[in-house]
């Protein structure tokens, strides 16, 4: 009888694997589908666990846990992920204000008594360059110092997100040429070349995206390509009677009711609004840059660009400052 009971029990344990793909535009709300397949799906004992799956299982992110009337969201998903609950068998979730960081594989695990169902969903996020700009970024430490997770944080620190392959491709079509390899949000490392040359993948290779493929997200070190969108605020050059140290620049923006501008903000102002200023100024990461939309002598004479001066000693009084004031 014991063996017969075990056989009967196993017959009712169900492991189902479904893989679907859904696509969203950057900033959209999107539904990730998942359904219960049970005659007793209305039970309050149903446990639903959504997880964002990473290549390294240790880096998996909890998204939402639902048990009856009790629901909890986690991390960056807190406050913007909800159960859809269109009917008693609906275990789908709605993600609001989709970001590039949300792209990837999700797992919906449903436990209902002795029955278990696992369904997987791939979320693809599309974000064109109509209202945004791709820019390369490396930290004050210098080139090739970011693993994948540091790269994501570096973009966020500059009011941007890590760029997608599609966004980098569009930027390359728009003329972006950069000879340093950077992370993209799918874990690959690439760089755009419009003018083939020997140090940048060889002069015999045609223009295009040079691709190193997927790299170890913990160990490999590269730069990163970030994507900044239009912002609801005002970036401006703060007129001052004299040049400032970095610390004086931070305080000067505060005294003006603003904050020192971030790299993503100056790129967005330059690309989307056509902001142009031939004065080198401090930014929040300690770098000094200036945006040129109208090339001219002594101000990026051959191309439009956000010119990069470097990461100078923060105590030198050699530069002005760009500030950012959010809309009220």
Query: How far, in Å, CA of 286 to CA of 178, rounded?
Result: 22
User: Do 245 and 194 sit in the same domain of this protein?
Assistant: no
pLDDT for 173: 82
pLDDT in tens, the chain (328 residues): 444 444 444 334 444 455 788 988 766 789 999 988 654 545 557 899 999 998 788 889 999 999 888 899 998 788 889 998 878 788 999 998 777 678 889 999 998 877 788 899 999 876 545 578 999 999 999 999 999 999 999 999 999 999 999 899 988 988 899 999 999 999 999 999 988 998 898 888 889 999 999 999 999 999 999 999 888 899 999 999 999 999 999 999 999 999 999 999 999 999 988 899 999 999 999 999 999 988 888 898 888 899 999 999 999 999 999 999 998 7
Last residue of a domain, one of 75, 102, 126: 126
User: Do 115 and 6 sit in the same domain of this protein?
Assistant: yes
User: Do 202 and 239 sit in the same domain of this protein?
Assistant: no
Enumerate long-range contacts of 8-13, CB under 8 Å, 24 or more apart: 9/114, 12/114, 12/115, 13/114, 13/115, 13/116
pLDDT for 328: 73
User: Do 213 and 274 sit in the same domain of this protein?
Assistant: no
Number of domains in the chain: 3
User: Do 263 and 307 sit in the same domain of this protein?
Assistant: yes
Which CATH number do you get for residue 40?
2.60.40.10
Strand pairing category for 182-183 and 223-229: parallel
Residue 203, strand partner residues: none
238 three-state secondary structure: coil
User: Do 150 and 261 sit in the same domain of this protein?
Assistant: no
User: Do 94 and 14 sit in the same domain of this protein?
Assistant: yes
Last residue of a domain, one of 170, 204, 228: 228
User: Do 21 and 104 sit in the same domain of this protein?
Assistant: yes
Domain residue limits at 25: 2-126
pLDDT for 175: 84
180 three-state secondary structure: coil
pTM as predicted: 0.64
Which CATH number do you get for residue 316?
3.10.100.10
User: Do 16 and 108 sit in the same domain of this protein?
Assistant: yes
User: Do 155 and 206 sit in the same domain of this protein?
Assistant: yes
User: Do 13 and 59 sit in the same domain of this protein?
Assistant: yes
Structure-token pair, residue 238 = 């703060």
Nearest to 122 by CA among 26, 22, 25: 22
Structure-token pair, residue 183 = 């992370």
Last residue of a domain, one of 74, 103, 126: 126
For the purposes of burial, counting CB atoms within 10 Å of the CB of 273, is it exposed (0-12), middle (13-18) or buried (19 or more)? middle
pLDDT for 219: 96
b/e per residue, 24-63, with b = 16+ CB within 10 A? bebeeebbbebbbebeebeeeebebbbbbbbeeeeeebeb
Angle (CA) 228 184 21, round 5°: 95
pLDDT for 44: 54
User: Do 190 and 294 sit in the same domain of this protein?
Assistant: no
Only one residue has tokens 């974000």, namely 127
Residue 213, strand partner residues: 189
């Amino acid at each position: 009888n014991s063996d017969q009971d075990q056989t009967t029990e196993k017959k009712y344990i169900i492991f189902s694997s479904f893989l679907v793909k859904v696509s969203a535009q950057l900033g959209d709300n999107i539904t990730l589908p998942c359904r219960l397949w049970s005659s007793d799906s209305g039970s309050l004992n149903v446990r639903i666990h959504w997880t964002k799956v990473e290549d390294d299982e240790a880096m998996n992110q909890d998204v939402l846990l639902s048990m009856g009337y009790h629901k909890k969201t986690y991390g960056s998903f807190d406050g913007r992920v909800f159960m859809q609950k269109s009917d008693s068998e609906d275990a789908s979730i709605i993600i609001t204000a989709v970001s590039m960081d949300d792209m990837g594989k999700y797992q919906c695990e449903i436990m209902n008594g002795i029955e278990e169902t696992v369904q997987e969903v791939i979320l693809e996020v599309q974000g064109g360059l109509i209202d945004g700009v791709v820019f390369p970024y490396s930290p004050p430490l210098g080139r090739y110092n970011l693993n994948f997770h540091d790269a994501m944080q570096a973009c966020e620190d500059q009011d941007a997100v890590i760029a997608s392959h599609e966004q980098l491709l569009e930027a390359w079509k728009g003329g972006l040429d950069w000879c340093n390899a950077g992370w993209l949000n799918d874990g690959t490392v690439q760089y755009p070349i419009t003018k083939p040359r020997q140090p940048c993948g060889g002069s015999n290779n045609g223009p295009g995206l040079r691709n190193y493929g997927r790299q170890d997200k913990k160990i490999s070190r590269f730069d990163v390509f970030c994507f900044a969108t239009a912002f609801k605020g005002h970036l401006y050059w703060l007129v001052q009677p004299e040049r400032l140290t970095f610390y004086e620049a931070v305080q000067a923006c505060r005294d003006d009711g603003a904050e020192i501008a971030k790299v993503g903000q100056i790129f967005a102002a330059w690309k989307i609004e056509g902001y142009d200023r031939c004065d080198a100024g401090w930014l929040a990461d300690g770098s000094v840059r200036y945006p040129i939309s109208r090339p001219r002598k002594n101000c990026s004479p051959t191309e439009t660009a956000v010119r990069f001066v470097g990461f100078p000693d923060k105590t030198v009084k050699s530069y002005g400052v760009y500030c950012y004031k959010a809309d009220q």
